[in-house]
Amino acid sequence: MINPDGGGPGDLAPQIADIETHGPGVNVVPMIGHNGVRRDVMGLENRKPTSAELAQMETLVKQAMDLGAFGLSTGPFYIPGKYSETSELVALAKVAATYPGAFHISHVRDESSYDVGILGAIKELIDVSRQTGIIGVVTHMKMLGPSVWGQSEQAVEMINAARAEGLSIWADQYPYAASGSSLQASLVPGWAQEGGPEATAERLQNPEQRALIRQEMVANLERRAGAKLRQTKSAEDAAAVVSTHYERPADKEGEAAKRGQLAAAMLGKTYAERREAAGVPTPPPAPAAATAPRATA
């Protein structure tokens, strides 16, 4: 399957043409990604679409399905899908559902306790299927972080109840304990990501907004089981990543966020262990960070 988690282009024509030209030797299941569609129509704006914009998104989904997409891929945990409401997902799923066998696969809105919680996010996917009749798949289902550990039984019960209701709801998992995502998606608050990396970088230059972003990043770091289980990497070598100006993980990752293109994975090594492996001296402790009220702009 390609274009998971709502990713990929809003216009599938070049991608489909490339697949047909090269004729890969494995099965390929192209999906039309909500995030790509929304980005093409609305950019990275944090708002509801107008009726005209929603119609444009519906057209892109229909065009993709006509080209051979197998269904709708969503990732409302990620920007700009994070800015969508359930009604927007329903509208696009309705278009895909008119094609036989189409399905909706989603990196659900919350796999932890960021906002709606993992159970609320699974409920949203089920609601989309209930309102459209489309097959629904919770992709790489997990209970991410201590605050939701133990809720897997409830999640499975919700899916089984939906299936008993007559809905076609499924889930998949990857067969390992690690988890990976972008730094921005996993730690940086959604409001701070509006407008893209350049806008985020500008907010980080504002002391009050930077303090608030850092405060929310610290909370998100703990939500994902804390810094001791977190490893960061970028296109730079390990020494460059771990030798930033601050000792505290949130400050390290804040600095890395300004550089962009940094991924994060929970792989069980501490910063001290990675510094030692990279031969990087321990930097001096940072001064205490100030807190500030949430900025509105």
How do residues 20-53 score in pLDDT, each as one tens digit?
999 888 999 999 999 999 999 999 999 999 999 9
Q: Which amino acid is at 212?
A: L
| Residue that wins the pLDDT comparison between 277 and 133 | 133
| Residue that wins the pLDDT comparison between 168 and 180 | 168
Name residue 105's beta-bridge partners.
Answer: 73, 137
| Residue that wins the pLDDT comparison between 87 and 243 | 87
pLDDT digits (tens, 9 = 90+) for 145-157: 999 999 999 999 9
- Supply 75's token pair: 């990732």
Instruction: Give residues with Cβ within 8 angstroms of 49, minimum separation 6.
Output: 38, 41, 42, 57, 88
pTM of this prediction? Answer: 0.78
The reply to whether 189 and 156 lie within a common domain is no
Q: Is residue 289 part of a domain?
A: no
Tell me which of 125, 141, 171 is where a domain ends: 171
Q: Is residue 288 part of a domain?
A: no
pLDDT digits (tens, 9 = 90+) for 253-287: 556 555 554 455 444 444 455 455 555 565 555 44
Predicted local confidence at residue 290, as pLDDT: 40
Instruction: Check which CATH number belongs to the domain holding 106 and give it.
Output: 3.20.20.140
Q: Is residue 207 part of a domain?
A: yes
Predicted local confidence at residue 2, as pLDDT: 95
**pLDDT class of 185 with cuts at 50, 70, 90:** confident
Q: Is residue 287 part of a domain?
A: no
pLDDT digits (tens, 9 = 90+) for 225-256: 777 666 555 544 444 444 444 445 555 555 65
pLDDT at 55 over 80: yes
Give CA–CA dist 173/222, Å, rounded. Answer: 23
State the total domains in the chain. Answer: 2
The answer to which of 87-91, 108-112, 290-294 has the lowest mean pLDDT is 290-294
Predicted local confidence at residue 233, as pLDDT: 56
Q: Is residue 284 part of a domain?
A: no
Predicted local confidence at residue 293, as pLDDT: 39
Residue 97 in 3-state DSSP? helix
The reply to whether 115 and 230 lie within a common domain is no
The reply to whether 139 and 219 lie within a common domain is no
Tell me which of 145, 171, 197 is where a domain ends: 171
The reply to whether 29 and 161 lie within a common domain is yes
Q: Is residue 72 part of a domain?
A: yes
The reply to whether 198 and 148 lie within a common domain is no
The reply to whether 187 and 165 lie within a common domain is no
Residue-level length of the chain: 297
Q: Give residue 67's domain range.
A: 4-171
